[in-house]
Homo-oligomer: A and B are copies of this chain.
Amino acid sequence: METVADTEEGRSPAASAPPELVVEVVILSVRGADLVVLLTPAHDGLHALPQTVPRVGETLDQTAASQVQRLTRHADAYVRQLYTWGEPAGSGNGRALQVSYIALSPAEDPEGQPAGVGDCRWWSVEKPPPLVPRHERTLRQAREYLEERLPHTHLAWSLLPDPFTLSELQVVYEVVQRRALDKRNFRKWLLSSGLVEPTGRLRCEGAHRPARLYRFTTREPRPLD
């Protein structure tokens, strides 16, 4: 590792104390008409994002992915790095590093719905419990990430189990974008994008016409611009 141009201004790399390193995950999902996030109780009645210390021999991405899998019991969630905070630690000359990730997962497992694993629970993003201060900004970042990207890249597949109805998918878009969408225009846009295809099957649930079921044609996140 070259440390370039460090001799000027008297930088002294060796003076840095070993950083503490933590991986935090913002796991988001859509339940009914709510965007929800998985939180765990922490000190002083506050809640926190699930976090973990990376194991020896695994990358940060692996740490995040395995934690998401453990907490959601869902194998192919969408997991992406958000940001790294690296502030001087309060005490002494240490450094606290927090690497945050966003993950998107369908709200329900195929069978039933474990409301969370261990002490984690789903909370509405609109009215979350008091959070550890650091995690407020991380949650905000995750939300901005999602709002910004969902319309431009078909991230929605990761928030819905296959197969789904177009109304379910529309709800996902409405919840994330926090606005109502026109049903006809939404369907026109979606079908012309070629990202979904009908399975040919129907779902009957309730006193109304059954809904056609669809699936995504690809599971790779693809930009739509």
Q: Please judge, given known A-B contacts A21-B97, A56-B88, A60-B84, whether A43 and B11 are in contact too, CB under 8 Å.
A: no
Q: Which residue of B8, B58, B118 is within 8 Å of A5 (Cβ)?
A: B118
Question: Complex: how many Å from CA A50 to CA B3?
Answer: 8
Q: With an 8 A cutoff between CB atoms, is A2 at the interface?
A: yes
Interface residues of A in 82-109 (CB under 8 A from B): 83-88, 93, 95-97, 99
Count residues on chain A whose CB falls below 8 Å from chain B CBs: 53
Contacts of A21 on B, CB cut-off 8 Å?
A: 16, 19, 86, 95, 97
Q: Is A75 an interface residue (CB 8 A)?
A: no
On whether the beta carbons of B86 and A2 are closer than 8 Å, the reply is no
- Contact check, A2 vs B99: say whether CB atoms are below 8 A apart: no
Give the residues in chain B near A11, CB-CB below 8 Å.
52-53, 55
Q: Are A88's CB and B117's CB within 8 A?
A: no
Q: Which residues of B contact A182 (CB under 8 A)?
A: none
- Note all chain B residues with C-beta closer than 8 A to A99: 84, 86
Q: 17 more A-B contacts (CB under 8 A) besides A5-B120, A19-B21, A60-B86?
A: A3-B53, A4-B50, A4-B52, A4-B118, A4-B119, A5-B118, A5-B119, A6-B52, A11-B53, A12-B55, A13-B53, A16-B21, A16-B56, A19-B19, A21-B86, A21-B97, A56-B95
A-B contact pairs, 29 of them (CB 8 A): A1-B20, A1-B96, A3-B52, A4-B48, A4-B119, A5-B40, A5-B50, A5-B67, A5-B70, A5-B119, A5-B120, A11-B53, A12-B55, A16-B21, A16-B53, A16-B55, A17-B56, A18-B19, A21-B86, A21-B97, A56-B95, A57-B88, A58-B88, A59-B86, A59-B88, A60-B85, A81-B84, A84-B84, A97-B97
